[in-house]
Structure 1
């Protein structure tokens, strides 16, 4: 949670400081809060947070289930009549599906705080005015796809982590391999999902 908050805050701060000179050249400083809000909420917030979760959650799930496979805990569950897919996999996939959207909202909120701080470095702006300008450029077509794709991010982060751990080999080195491959596959999947959503929203 702290990592997501700090990352979001820094992203908002840096992006605002980079965009301010560009918009100032056109006399469009009042558009800065809205531009930052749209950029963070539509793209940067979900993608960066998704990548952080892929590195933390997917690798952890992959390593955990791979360790259970190596130590034959999965086999023991099957012998005892417990279904590993429902007991081990479903709970983790559901957890990541619910948690990732919440973390994205958290990161977006902190990114706006960072943007507000950066704006006040250049000129004084009340917080209420900053919030009004930020959300003046946001519409349902921005919020709905951004929220929906975070659900897909969370689902596939959990699913890939479980799959990589569940299909790990029997050696102890399989735990590390499962964690690494889960991160790589989850990160690539996040970019693919984001691309699909961008293509769909650009059409409609």
Structure 2
């Protein structure tokens, strides 16, 4: 375990060494940002709308009492979406979509000796292959989380349009009542940490792949599983420290 942790830290240090040619690295960062951001936008949008709608319906069902104001549905849905649903569920989905892609891509380059060729040419392989992916994850996953929050709250509004339990007016009133800025801070911290964990862990597993095509698939699976576990652990730790 400690050996793996040491290799992981060393790989991160090598990844963020001063680049040989900044323009080449910058082009790679832009390409990765497009891949992570635009490539994941569709699945994040679909999941966010449906989760927001389901959250509003379930909260309305559980709080259907004349003693509870209907606007509380909007407040609970808002806090749940910002604090947990959008950052964490989006991260778990992105671990499968982005993380597996990163691990398999780097793992394939390792088993086909492309990484060895880069090192022979004097290129810092971790810096060229891993740093752009980490930068894109740290920058684009928070942006996807913002979009997810907006679409999740919009999904709750759409659910209210089709539900007789709560009106859209009460839902919007609940979104405005009792807002605490700390939940936005927690959401931002979570999304940044998740982006780093997903990209770095999956890149590590891909970089140290040994064998052939079968081992590439195993590395991708291992990277997704480990990153999901660390996302859930980080979720617990961040929530405990900031809330």
Mapped partners of 1:82, 1:182: distance in 2: 25
Structure 1: tracts of 5 or more residues without a match:
none
Residue 17 of structure 1 corresponds to which residue in structure 2?
Answer: 57
3-state SS of paired residue (2:115): helix
3-state SS of paired residue (1:24): coil
Mapped partners of 2:196, 2:68: distance in 1: 43
Deviation at residue 117 of structure 1 after TM alignment: 1.3
Mapped partners of 1:132, 1:87: distance in 2: 49
Q: Equivalent residues in 2 for 1:125-164 (5 A)?
A: 125-126=168-169, 130-164=171-205
Deviation at residue 131 of structure 1 after TM alignment: 4.0
Moved more, 167-176 or 34-43: 167-176
Mapped partners of 1:35, 1:70: distance in 2: 49
Aligned length in residues: 200
Structure 2: tracts of 5 or more residues without a match:
1-40
- Structure with the greater relative contact order (CA < 8 A, sep ≥ 6): 1 or 2? 1
Mapped partners of 1:189, 1:60: distance in 2: 18
Structure 1 outlier segments of 4+, above 3 Å: 129-132
Normalized against structure 2, the TM-score is what?
0.79
Higher share in helix: 1
Tell me whether 1:171 sits opposite 2:220 in the alignment. no
Deviation at residue 5 of structure 1 after TM alignment: 0.7
Q: Equivalent residues in 2 for 1:1-204 (5 A)?
A: 1-25=41-65, 26-120=67-161, 121-122=163-164, 123-126=166-169, 130-202=171-243
**1:81-139 per-position Cα deviation (integer Å, ceiling 9, x unaligned):** 0001110010111111111111111111111111011122224434xx74453143332
Normalized against structure 1, the TM-score is what?
0.93
Moved more, 19-28 or 137-146: 19-28
Residue 38 of structure 2 corresponds to which residue in structure 1?
Answer: none
Mapped partners of 1:180, 1:53: distance in 2: 13
Deviation at residue 22 of structure 1 after TM alignment: 2.1
